[in-house]
Structure 1
Amino acid sequence: MMRLFTVLLLVLLGLLQYRLWFGQHSITDYWHKQDELQGQLASNQELEKRNRLLKADVTDLQKGLDAIEERARNELGLIKKDEVFFRIFSQTDNTGKK
């Protein structure tokens, strides 16, 4: 009787250990979820950084004309009245090399 009880307990322990290491919601699943979580946190930090930069850009555009003028110059080629615009080209030979 005692031997049967010991065998039964060992089988039960084996089944519980199997579930702990390999079953659904096991330790390996936990480790995989931790890795996914770290990746997601890193992605969130990058997105938060991007959002802060965009928010600062919006604030600059809302508050002053300097930021609007700078954007117009860089992105649209704004030239003010009475300004002289120079475009410098480098000389190249027939092959396109300098």
Structure 2
Amino acid sequence: MITPTKGIAPDRALLTVGAQVVKQLDRPRTVSQTWSRLRSWRETEGYHAPISFGWFVLALDVLYTLGVLDLCDDLLVIRRPDAPAA
């Protein structure tokens, strides 16, 4: 689920989706803005495997757990490597 497996294609693995989410966060964005940008980006880039909103949220959870992402003032932000955990 987090990494590709026999049942989870590489383009749907949570780490892959998480990396795609990070690409959308060139600046702080709301969850809904990030979701919308991710869906558009995946369509433009030719990713045909659909992702549900629940799967997107799981990818956000993985990013938060890994210390990559924070939610500040209702905005998703990429955590700087030298920043303390919120």
- TM-score bracket relative to the smaller structure: under 0.3
**TM-score w.r.t. length of structure 1:** 0.20
Larger Rg: 1
Higher strand share: 2
**Which structure: greater helix fraction?**
1
